[in-house]
Amino acid sequence: MSATDTAPLFRPFRLKTLDLKNRIVMAPMTRAMVPGGIPREANAAYYRRRAEGH
Q: Quick one: which H or E segment has residue 45?
A: helix 41-51
1 pLDDT above the threshold of 60: no
* Greater pLDDT, 3 or 20: 20
pLDDT confidence of residue 16: 94
- Quick: pLDDT tens for 14-43: 999 999 888 887 777 766 767 777 888 888
What's the whole-model pTM score?
A: 0.44
Confidence grade of residue 4 (pLDDT, cut at 50, 70, 90) = low
Determine whether 13 is exposed, middle or buried from the number of CB atoms within 10 Å of its CB (0-12, 13-18, 19+). Answer: middle
